[in-house]
Amino acid sequence: MPSRSASVVCLLVFLLVSPVSIPSAWSADLENTLAIDLHDPAVLQEATRILTEEVKLAARAQTYVIVDLVDRAVVIKGRGAELHRFPIAQWSAAHLAEVSTMFRLQARPPVSRRKIEPAAGDQPPVSLDDMPTDFTLTFSPSLSVAVHPSASEDFWRWLRFTGRDWWAWLKGWARRLATGTEPSAQPVVRLTLTPHDAQSLAWTVTEGMPFLVRRASAETS
Amino acid sequence: MKRILAALCATSIGLVLLVLAGSLPATVASTVPIVEVDQAALRVLQSRYRALSKQLSQLMPGQPYIVVDTARNHLYIKRRDQVLLDALASTGSGTILDKPGEAKGQWIFDTPRGEFAVQTKLVNPVWVKPDWAFVEEGLAIPKSAADRIEPGVLGEYALGFGKGYFIHGTLYPRLLGKNVTHGCIRLNDDDLKSVYQLARVGTPIMIF
């Protein structure tokens, strides 16, 4: 009898203690989705902002994109679940403080579609290779996300893209010199992706797709 | 001589651009401002963050769901982050076909993107050929519905997710992995059977 009582007591103690003592990775994940330092107020505030917006998007039947400048990734998501991730090799941005809301893509990068000629047999389909490796996505409200390859992967495209950025800067500087006024703050995010990932992103995005940008405290990476 | 000078000028400009490109100027300092909060406010923020994380996690499908990657032509069945099935698929070709008799009417053969749900589950489905299937082959569109029926081309099962789009089988498994369909999602026989068994009416399908 005493040994049976002891066994029952041990079992009860085990049942009471085990939910507390056994580490629950899943419940930890539930409460820290972005795996951030919960004692860093700036990081916490930004993460909270992103989650507030994401919860609204995840509550609806749609896919959406998070440009995560902290974890350096472009993430395609639906209902809070990660569907695909593209690593960001490098990024830079201007007027990041203006990027505090949800944006909707105005138009996906253009792709030339092949027209089927009736009875002419199979037509070559559109594939990833048809998508551009450098492009600019424009959003409402005002935001531009410029995507381009690195210099090592496609030097001429990179040079063209960099030259375009410098030309825009020169025009802004000349305007300030001529008029004495600052141009309105247009937020811009520039992403360096591999050509394959850039083409994948161009393929994936659709008109009206919601985008969120998780900001980092620095302006470049 | 002039050519040499022009080449030297062009090279110098290029080198200057290259050197300066490494440090593109920001027009205005625009870093996210450093936040200083007291401990009580920090605790409130932490609490809010945890609640939002939990809320987001609860929005994820609790049951298995289908993910279709149209760029890489793969179909996955997942439960939370776990992949239960990874299947090679074929998705929309992205080509266009003019509608006869309409100046600007076109069919665009894309697999639709976004979130959908399994609406129907069919066994031994029969293809009822739409108008484009005849136009594409240069044939007249039949008046009789019976002339549209073509059995045996969709495989043993089909799962409909709205507007005439289905996950179904194929007679051409060698074309799996390519964008060759008119918008539907094709799988081989074994994967199709697995999807049919795992999915229910209402199972979410997320397509990107």
A192 touching B, CB under 8 A? Answer: no
- Cβ atoms B191, B85 nearer than 8 A: yes
User: Looking at beta carbons, which residues of chain A come within 8 Å of B26?
Assistant: 94, 219
The pLDDT of residue B101 is 86
* 3-state class (DSSP) for residue B182: coil
Q: What is the pLDDT of residues B49-81, one digit of tens each?
A: 999 999 999 999 999 999 999 999 999 999 998
Calculate Rg over the CA atoms of chain A: 24
Segment A49-77 mean pLDDT: 96
- Chain B neighbors of A108, CB-CB under 8 A: none
Q: What is the mean pLDDT of residues A112-120?
A: 83
Residue B113's nearest CA partner among B162, B158, B159 is B162
**Average pLDDT of chain B?**
88
Q: Which residue in B175, B206, B207 has the most chain A C-beta atoms within 10 A of its own C-beta, making it the best mutation to test that interface?
A: B206
Which residue do the tokens 């802004």 mark? A172
The more confident residue out of A136 and A170 is: A136
Quick check: A113 and B96 CB within 8 A? yes
Task: Answer with the residue of higher pLDDT: A81 or B14.
Answer: A81
Q: Read off the pLDDT of residues A136-148 as tens digits, 9 standing for 90 and up.
A: 999 999 999 999 8
Q: Full-prediction pTM beyond 0.90?
A: no
B162-204 confidence digits (pLDDT tens): 999 999 999 999 999 999 999 999 999 999 999 999 999 999 9
pLDDT at B30: 44
Separation CA A36–CA A70 (nearest Å): 10
Predicted local confidence at residue A212, as pLDDT? 97
Per-residue confidence at A24, pLDDT binned at 50, 70, 90? Answer: very low
Task: Tell me if chain B has a CB within 8 Å of the CB of A46.
Answer: yes
Give the pLDDT score at A94: 85
Whether B31 sits inside 8 A of A97 (CB atoms) is yes
Percentage of chain A exceeding pLDDT 90: 44
Name the region of A72 (left: φ>0; alpha: ψ -120 to 50; beta: rest).
left
Is the model's pLDDT at A1 over the cut of 60?
Answer: no
Q: Is B24 in Cβ contact with A44 (below 8 Å)?
A: no
Better-scored residue on pLDDT, A35 or A192: A192
Q: Which two tokens stand for residue B33?
A: 């401002």
Q: How far is A2 from chain B (nearest CA, A)?
A: 45
Which residues in chain A are closer than 8 Å to B59, comparing Cβ atoms? 55, 58-59, 79-80
| Cα torsion angle, B45, A38, A81, A143, sign | positive
* Token pair for B125: 């489905």
ipTM above 0.85, yes or no: no
pLDDT at A85 over 90: yes
Q: Is the pLDDT of residue A2 over 70?
A: no
Does residue B17 have a pLDDT over 70? no
Spatial strand order of the sheet with A188-192 comes to A81-87, A73-78, A63-68, A210-214, A103-105, A135-140, A143-148, A188-192, A90-94
